[in-house]
């Protein structure tokens, strides 16, 4: 009987030692499982995020492509506006400007160049700068091997006698232009966006 009691006590003591180990093992397994679930959840979230970014990128590319097609068609039809974001003057100074009052426009045979960099002075055009217009001649549009569209035309008027070159960035409506006055060296370099004339948000001031 004594031996039986001793045996039971030994077994009980062994179980009391093993039980915490089993509990600790179960806790460790639960933590590992939770970590695996968190990692898997993170991977799924990243996959969804990546798919969303790719979709948005494709939509942006499509929008840029459509804008490019519209811009080039408007240029071919002599019915466009280049809304200007910044202007570099012949002295090298670059000014960021309001595209609503800074633009080049072509409507049929009439061209307008409006540069209004000032927010403090009304200028000759009443909008902070100068507006000049004239009649177009020598209107030519070409596309090179890299897909860059190049437009050149001459403008003759009371306040403006110049050659203008416009370049469209392939796959977009972004453009750069250069205005070469025929009677002085006040060349202008311009960057902005080309839109169809009817879609332009501009205010034209009083011409010289």
Element (H, E) at 43: helix 2-76
Does some domain include residue 5?
no
Q: Torsion angle of alpha carbons 66, 68, 70, 73, nearest 10°?
A: -140
pTM check: above 0.95: no
65-84 per-position pLDDT tens digit: 888 999 999 999 999 999 99
Does some domain include residue 19?
no
Quick one: average pLDDT of 111-129?
Answer: 87
Residue 122, domain extent: 71-199
User: Given this model, what pLDDT does residue 196 score?
Assistant: 96
Does some domain include residue 40?
no
Domain count, the chain: 1
Name the band, by pLDDT with cuts 50, 70 and 90, for residue 10.
Answer: very low
Residue 151: closest CA among 185, 186, 131, 176: 176
Q: What CATH number is associated with residue 83?
A: 2.40.128.410
Does some domain include residue 183?
yes
In the chain, pLDDT over 90 holds for what percent of residues? 50
- Say which residue, 136 or 160, is predicted with more confidence: 136
**Nearest 5°: phi and psi at 134?**
-175, -175
pLDDT of residue 163 exceeding 80: yes
25-62 per-position pLDDT tens digit: 667 777 777 787 877 777 777 777 676 666 665 556 66
């Amino acid at each position: 009987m004594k031996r039986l009691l001793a045996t039971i006590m030994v077994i009980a003591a062994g179980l009391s030692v093993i039980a915490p180990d089993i509990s600790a093992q179960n806790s460790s397994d639960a933590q590992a499982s939770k970590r695996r679930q968190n990692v898997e959840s993170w991977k799924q979230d990243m996959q969804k995020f990546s798919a969303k970014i790719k979709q948005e990128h494709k939509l942006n590319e499509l929008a840029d492509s459509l804008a490019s097609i519209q811009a080039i068609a408007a240029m071919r039809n002599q019915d466009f506006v280049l809304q200007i974001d910044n202007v570099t003057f012949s002295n090298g100074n670059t000014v960021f400007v309001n595209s609503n009052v800074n633009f080049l426009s072509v409507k049929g045979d009439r061209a307008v160049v409006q540069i209004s960099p000032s927010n403090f002075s009304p200028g000759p055009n009443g909008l902070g700068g100068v507006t000049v217009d004239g009649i177009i001649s020598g209107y030519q549009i070409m596309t090179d091997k890299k897909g860059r569209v190049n437009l050149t035309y001459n403008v003759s008027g009371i306040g403006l006698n110049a050659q203008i070159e416009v370049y469209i960035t392939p796959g977009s409506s972004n453009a750069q232009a250069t205005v070469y006055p025929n009677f002085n060296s006040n060349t202008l370099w311009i960057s902005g966006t080309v839109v169809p004339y009817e879609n332009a948000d501009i205010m034209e001031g009083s011409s010289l």
